[in-house]
Amino acid sequence: MSTATPAPRTFVDPTMLVDDACAAALQASARLALLAPARRADLLDAIAAALDAAGPDLVPIAMAESRLTQVRLTGEVGRASGQLRLMANVIRQGAYLGVTIDEADANLTPPRPDLRRMMIPLGPVAVFAASNFPFAFSVLGNDTAAALAAGCPVVAKPNPGHPRLSQAVIAVAQGALAQANAPKGMLTLIDSSLQAGIDLVRDDRIEAVGFTGSQRGGLALAKIAADRPRPIPFFGELGSINPIVVTAEALVARRSSIVEGFIGSFTLGAGQFCTKPGLLIAPVDSELREALRTGLAQAPDQAMLTDNIRDAFHHGLSLVADTAVVTPIHVGHHVPETNTVTPSLYAVSATDIVQHPHLLDECFGPTALLVEYAGEDDLRVLLEALPGVLAAGVQAQGDESMLPVVLSELTARAGRVIFNEWPTGVAVTWAMQHGGPFPAATRPESTSVGAYAIDRFMRAVTWQSIPDALLPQPLQHANPLQVPRRVNGVQH
């Protein structure tokens, strides 16, 4: 009996030229849009199953390109397949279509014609992969899952940090789609170059863009999308400073656990999460400073994902450290041989940070600011100066008189508001909102995670006085697909 280790699986490179990928996506668009939701759901499930099966072959590629651990990446494969299955569930239920019917009524003044409204897919979508989640926010991440679920072909642009993995993942997905007799061209891949991404957004066959990445890169692409002869929506998730407010009462009652939770959250994954808490807003307290310094002294070295991310991190860190009003609490170090870093933490007063707004910009990596306030008025001025963020939270006892004001200010600026927890985990669920006011995202009404992510890649159409046989099935009198519908104002 042979005990030899099986040879690693090889993957055919599916990369196409931008023009060819867009042409294939356009050709697939009509066929994919006409597929019944249940059929599209089956295709998503097929991709999810293939991704899970290929996980043992894909994870080593991801480890080599990202410096992330096997445990982390194996879990991320499950997250990516779970996102696909969630979207399959969303479209099977049918409510995403938003079917609304107002039947003709000649007795109204003026008489009302028969009106039937529902959502339809936009068409081919460009998806730009993120660097920090090689599976979950990459070429087969939530943007791709949502667009395919909506009935939109996807042209995926890989992140330069993991090009071989992107090729392998798309090859796995394309294999599953081919076996399921899916429309050819519904999922394609271009190369990872900057120019390829620019050409993709400029291509007139692309109807929308999904992007997760840096503010600089996202805004440059958003401008290209807006400046086209025929502008298109750009759904960009651009990162965030993610403030956590600590009340005086909570600090007295739970100082140790708050310190432990904050350090664990902002250093998780070397701080390379868009939901990393970058601001701990707390009362002036020397014991808090000392506890944070002591805790960070034990923090281990962690790897940065890419050289570009490392360089950007050090640049952002220098902008903070060189600001006169900032005081170091713990200064980390960098080991060039391993490209690893330890976390840094600086302190600044609430009044000073308002005067230096660059300190409210995200620094992607293991660093944060302790922002110290002297009283409620001090805190209120700071909260009013905060930019739009993905997530914001409060550590409190629950009965503080200031809580309603704090929560109101955070709600005005955040896509997700958290109580006595930390923001780094983003659940893939129906109720999740992962987005926020600018600069956290380019479209504050949308989410890039969760069931409602599908809404980004659809638009509404109303059919007026159309014969029943010519209507899309969800709008027909018999409702053959049995989708939820609002008829004459009443939900059915």
pLDDT tens per residue, range 362-415: 999 999 999 999 999 999 999 999 999 999 999 999 999 999 999 999 999 999
Is pLDDT of 33 > 90?
Answer: yes
Whether the per-residue pLDDT at 51 is higher than 90: the answer is yes
Report pLDDT for 39: 97
Q: Which of 22, 76, 152, 274 is catalytic?
A: 274
Query: Which residue, 236, 202, 234, 200, is CA-closest to 438?
Result: 236
Interval 149-202: pLDDT, tens: 999 999 999 999 999 999 999 999 999 999 999 999 999 999 999 999 999 999
pLDDT in tens, 75-127: 999 999 999 999 999 999 999 999 999 999 999 999 999 999 999 999 999 99
Per residue in 206-236, pLDDT (tens digit) is 999 999 999 999 999 999 999 999 999 999 9
End-to-end Cα separation, the chain, in angstroms: 62
- The letter for the amino acid at 175 is G
7 has pLDDT over 90: no
Query: Which residues are bridge partners to 209 per DSSP?
Result: 126, 234
Kindly indicate the confidence band of residue 438, based on its pLDDT and cuts at 50, 70 and 90. very high
CB-based contact 218:238 (threshold 8 Å): yes
DSSP helix/strand/coil, 116: strand
Q: Which CATH number does 18-238+445-486 carry? A: 3.40.605.10
Lookup: tokens for 286 = 């020397």
- Report how far residue 121's alpha carbon sits from residue 461's, in angstroms, rounded to the nearest whole number: 10
Does position 321 have pLDDT exceeding 70, yes or no? yes
DSSP letter string over 258-324?
HHHHHHHHHHGGGG-STT---EEEEE--HHHHHHHHHHHHTPPPEE-S-HHHHHHHHHHHHHHHT-T
Tell me the CA distances in angstroms from 207 to 132, 224, 315, one per residue in order: 26, 13, 35
Across all residues in the chain, what is the average pLDDT? 95
Residue 22 annotated among the catalytic residues of the structure: no
The domain defined by 243-419 carries CATH number 2.70.70.10: no
From residue 29, how far is each of 124, 125, 154, 207 by CA, in Å? Answer: 7, 10, 9, 11
What's the pTM? 0.94
Identify the helix (H) or strand (E) that includes residue 188.
strand 187-189
pLDDT at 5: 54
> Are 303 and 132 contacting, i.e. CB atoms less than 8 angstroms apart?
no
What was the pLDDT predicted at 337?
Answer: 76
Q: Give the tokens for residue 131.
A: 């660097």
pLDDT for 107 equals 95
Relative to beta strand 486-487, strand 302-303 is unpaired
Task: Please give the C-alpha separations between residue 289 and each of 187, 270, 312, 429, in angstroms, as whole numbers.
Answer: 51, 21, 27, 36
SS3 assignment for 39-80: HHHHHHHHHHHHHHHHHHHHHHHHHHHHCCCHHHHHHHHHHH
pLDDT in tens, 455-485: 999 999 999 999 999 999 999 999 999 999 9
DSSP line for 213-274:
S-HHHHHHHHHHHHHSSS---EEEE-----EEEE-HHHHHHHHHHHHHHHHHHHHGGGG-ST
Out of 207, 237, 362, 372, pick the active-site residue. Answer: 237
Give me the pLDDT at residue 134, please.
96
Phi, psi of 58 (to 5 degrees): -85, -35
The residue type at 303: A
pLDDT exceeds cutoff 90 at 442: yes
Domain positions in the chain are 18-238+445-486, 243-419
Range scoring the smallest mean pLDDT among 135-139, 287-291, 335-339 = 335-339
Amino acid letter, 141:
G
Residue-wise pLDDT tens digits, 351-372: 999 999 999 999 999 999 999 9
pLDDT for the residue numbered 3:
53
Quote the pLDDT of residue 9. Answer: 80
363 is annotated as an active-site residue: no
Question: If pLDDT is split at 50, 70 and 90, which confidence band does 1 have?
Answer: very low
pLDDT of residue 393: 98
